[in-house]
Copies of this chain bind each other. A is one copy, B any other.
Amino acid sequence: MIEKMQVNTKKRIEMVDITAEIKKLVGKVKVDQGLMHVYCPHTTAAITVNENYDASVQKDISETLSSLIPHHSNYAHTEGNADAHIKSAIVGSSRTLFIQGGEVCLGTWQGIYFCEFDGPRTREVWIKFIQT
């Protein structure tokens, strides 16, 4: 089964911390040991795993990406969100995480983020668990 989670983003570019909701879901599905794949079904957003202690790291990630790949440039795509598609292709559509003892295994400073690159929008995150 595929679990679906709704994410309401509030800005054009935003790193939304979904760690707490993911942990709640892991508790609910009762997978003891295995894998979790967190998937973004959108082409102007992505999933990443990064520091969730100092929020300024998320600001640096999104601002550096935007300085490398600016909102407006000489793009062929005319919908005004070419930058968002490019960032999505680079950061990636999913992340894989391990589950042990019924809990998601994250490094000390790691959190799971939904990367909005063309919000605000109502988004979905799809999650699939593999029991091993």
Binding site for B on A (CB under 8 A): 1-2, 33, 35, 37, 39-43, 48-51, 54, 56-57, 59-61, 63-65, 68-69, 73, 75-79, 82, 85-86, 88-98, 100, 105-110, 124, 126, 128, 130, 132
Interface residue SS majority, chain A: mixed
Known contacts A61-B85, A89-B48, A126-B105; A2/B75 CB under 8 A: no
30 residue pairs A–B, Cβ–Cβ below 8 Å: A1-B33, A2-B98, A2-B105, A35-B130, A37-B96, A39-B96, A40-B107, A41-B106, A41-B110, A43-B107, A48-B92, A49-B89, A49-B93, A50-B85, A56-B76, A56-B82, A57-B76, A57-B82, A59-B77, A61-B86, A64-B86, A65-B86, A68-B68, A92-B95, A93-B95, A94-B95, A94-B96, A98-B126, A107-B124, A128-B132
Contacts of A130 in B (CB 8 A): 35, 130, 132
Question: Which residue of chain B is the closest to A69 with respect to CB atoms?
Answer: B64
Task: Tell me the bound Cα distance from A115 to B78 in angstroms.
Answer: 22
Task: Tell me the bound Cα distance from A117 to B33 in angstroms.
Answer: 30
